[in-house]
Amino acid sequence: MIQEKDIPIAKFAAPSKRAIAKATVVAAAIAAVLLFAAILPAEYGYDPLHTGAALGLTELSKATAAKPDPSAVPATTNTPQPKIYKVDSEDFLLTPGQSVELKYHMQKGAVMVYSWKASAKLMFEFHGEPDQKPNPDYYDSYELDDKVGKDQAHGSFTAPSTGIHGWFWQNKTDQRVEMHLATAGFYDSAKMFAGGDPEDMPVEDAK
Amino acid sequence: MDGHKLQKYMVKDKIFVVVALLAVAILLQPAVASAHNVSRNDAKFVQANQGRAMGPFMYLGAKHMVTGYDHLLFLVGVIFFLYRLKDVVQYVSLFTIGHSVTLLVGVLGGVHANSYIIDAIIGLSVVYKAFDNIDGFKRFLGFQPNTKWAVLIFGLFHGFGLATKLQEFALSQNGLVTNIVSFNVGVEIGQVLALTAVLIVLSYWRTRDGFLRHAFVTNTALMTGGFILTGYQLAGYFLAV
């Protein structure tokens, strides 16, 4: 069924051996130059001619290397806990300019998962205060967005110290913003700060 | 043709060479970044998917073909000198049979191969076809290896390339056959779309008297592209972590 005679017709005048050899060498040479001068430095950080560094291309390969691989799973860790984990959800309504803060008391190494969603962007800072503070104003910042803000965030958190850990949100829009927070984790209590004295919020055992 | 005119043609030829090489370089930029890689979000979908999903897998197959420059460069080489639609259909069918067989056998049979090596061979298929097009084999070997067998055999490697990429994701066993077949159907749809575009350009170009004159240079540029793909994949085999 496969016939040699079916080969295509109507071509250029048959090129000479010399021309074909030249074309092949030129093709390979151009490929080699592009590969060694630009592509390999940019893609793999392999830069034998130092052109990648000169053109700033090796940065690309570093950026690629640093990109977290979504399929990579960190080493498995299991941290048994003595008590059942808690769940909590809160709804807030923030008037323009108003702010609220909600923090959970956690032991060092305890884990919590969280999701919050708002009807518009809120400025926020996810931060914590250790029980043992070097000075009264001390705190650790985990995530800060006071420029653009976000209307949602989700994640898992491992407490770096025993203390209270949570969010400060502020409504910088000119409208009322509704916000919903849901968490689950090994915390023992929650506190809300909305201007006056901190208020204890009930948290429930997981069912 | 008088001397003045000849000179004008030579200048035009040089400009054409530069444009052709630039075009190859530009085409290869995304190719180098994305040839054969199912993009990140698509990968997430493939991994999260459970059960049958004909539409999405067909779409992914078509997208892969339309944006997979290695397959396209090879097909451009294959149909470059095919003037009759009957020939185009015949050769493309052989390519389709080739890559469908290895895609299905590779994924369903769990045949694993190193994707860098497979992709390097796919790059070489482009070099092979371009070299064939400039009569390289005829001149240096004294005969032209059967072009249909070549398309069929290289088609097998192209399908293996598709298979190794899909295998990098943990495909759900649930509805696997349906999904792979859908992906394959999508690949053919994408191939028809891409070929239509290539054929329109080639047909128009063939009506111009510059076609045969530039065919040699164009195939040289095609060969350059093939060498780049090959080198890129071989380097990946040796350098990538």
**ipTM for this model:** 0.70
Is A167 part of a structural domain of the chain?
yes
A145-175 burial, b at 16+ Cβ within 10 Å, e below that, comes to eeeebeeebeeebebebbbbbbbbbbbbbee
pLDDT of B37 over the 80 cut: no
Between CA A105 and CA B92 the distance in angstroms is 66
CA distances from A166 to A83, A144, A188, B16, B95 (A): 21, 12, 13, 64, 59
- Shortest distance between the Cα of A17 and any Cα of chain B, in A, equals 6
**Are A5 and B147 contacting, i.e. CB atoms less than 8 angstroms apart?**
no
Contact A9 B140 (CB under 8 A): no
Return the closest-CA partner of residue A129 out of A97, A186, A81, A167: A167
The answer to whether A8 contacts B87, with C-beta atoms less than 8 Å apart, is: yes
Domain count for chain A, please give it: 2
| Strand ranges (E), chain B | none
Residues of A in contact with B43 (CB under 8 A): 70-71
A94 shares a domain with A61? no
- Distance between CA atoms of residues B137 and B214, nearest Å: 20
| B216 CB within 8 Å of a chain A CB | yes
Question: A33 and A104 share a domain?
Answer: no
Residues A46, A124: one domain?
Answer: no
> Does residue A112 share a domain with residue A37?
no
Report the chain A residue with the minimal C-alpha distance to residue B83. A8
Whether A20 sits inside 8 A of B227 (CB atoms) is no
Residues A128 and A181 in one domain: yes
pLDDT tens for chain A, 207 residues long, are 444 444 444 556 678 888 899 999 999 999 999 999 988 888 888 888 888 888 888 777 776 555 455 555 556 778 788 889 999 999 999 988 888 999 999 998 899 999 999 999 999 999 999 998 887 778 888 988 888 889 999 999 999 889 999 999 999 888 899 999 999 999 999 998 887 788 888 899 988
In a domain, A41, yes or no: yes
Residue A43 touches chain B, beta carbons under 8 Å: yes
Using the Cβ of A196 and the Cβ atoms of chain B, whether some distance falls under 8 Å is answered with no
Nearest residue of B to residue A9 by CA position? B81
- Domain count within chain B: 1
Residues in chain B: 241
Q: Domain limits at A42?
A: 15-66
